[in-house]
Amino acid sequence: MTTKAVVCREPGKPWEVTELELDPPKANEVRIKIYAAGLCHSDDHIQKGDAPMRMPVVGGHEGAGVIDAVGPGVTRVEIGDHVVASFIPVCGRCRYCSSGRQNLCDDGKNAGIGVLQDGTFRFHKDGEDYGGLCVLGTFTRYSVVSESSVIKIAKDIPFEVACLVGCGVPTGWGSAVRAAGVRAGQTVVIFGAGGVGSNAVQGAAMAGAERVVVVDPVGFKREMAPTFGATHTFATAEEAFEFVRGVTWGELADHAIITVGVLNDEVIHDAINIVGKSGQVTITAVGPGMIKENPGPLIGFQRRIQGNIYGACNPLTDVPRLLSMYKSGKLKLDELVTRTYTLDQVNEGYQDMLDGKNIRGVVLIDHE
């Protein structure tokens, strides 16, 4: 079959709408009819060339839709199921899956290539193979993926919010709850309040943090932050530091979580500087930032620096859990969606993101 898709042919070139040939699913693969896809900053990093990726590639790694076809041997889902696409597949068999660390599944090894587990591609045009970003490619009407990359969800969940639980929501929420391990009564500082950062705010608030402090230069994001549980907001790290030092009597923060759009040296330094003794800096960002610190303050204060992917969440259990909290009114997902776009407007959507206009933009995919 053919499918309308948004692709990047080489780093630095705009996203391009085209028609691709799509192979049917092979063994242990499924075809998703995609209805919504999130505009995550990671895709922009790929398009800009900040992060390596085999080209050409179908963009998008946040998606939700309906299983349209299944290959031989598929047991996780069946035709007609509503699903969220997980940017980290979960095989359930490797060392990491079997020890409760599904976010580190070995099947995630092809994320930067976009090739399926058998080493072949499903998207093609004029004899050329197109990968799917994170072995998904959700900026398209249809995509063929491994059954390990889909999670069944309830049919009453709107696709435009369900798609966000494939990446941005668990990555942010888990950064606070899982990777940082925020506890009741603590002080947490979150650098960057976009699609991931807003969910880190929700996670810290739900974990019982006494103070959830947001640092973001964009006024719109600071205005939105209290919606998700922020107790205080500041435009600069300097303002936040003075506040935190004052309210903690000089002890400083228990946690700093970095969820900025582009990781840089300065924000790493600011995050390390704002945590006190036994404090942890959790890095959930992509970019050229380097850790250039004298080890003395790290050693003397016993500070920790923790990297994480997918918020250290377990997709098969945490995605349904997050959606259950959404249905019960405890997790805000509708409020994350600032604007919606068509497949033809992906470049516009990313420009709005870069201009600070969106918490999260979502592509609604037309099947007429």
Active site residues: 40, 42, 45, 61, 167
Q: Which segments of the chain are extended strands (E)?
A: 2-8, 16-22, 29-38, 57-58, 63-70, 82-85, 123-125, 128-132, 142-146, 150-153, 187-191, 211-215, 232-234, 253-258, 275-283, 304-307, 337-341, 360-364
Question: In this structure, are residues 186 and 324 in contact, taking their beta carbons and an 8 Å threshold?
Answer: no
Nearest Cα neighbor of 333 from 64, 34, 144, 4 is 64
Beta bridge partners of 34: 65
| Rg over CA atoms, the chain | 20
Nearest Cα neighbor of 359 from 247, 214, 251, 255 is 214
Q: How far apart are CA 5 and CA 138, in angstroms?
A: 8
Question: In this structure, are residues 179 and 311 in contact, taking their beta carbons and an 8 Å threshold?
Answer: yes
Beta bridge partners of 360: 337
Three-class DSSP category at 227: helix
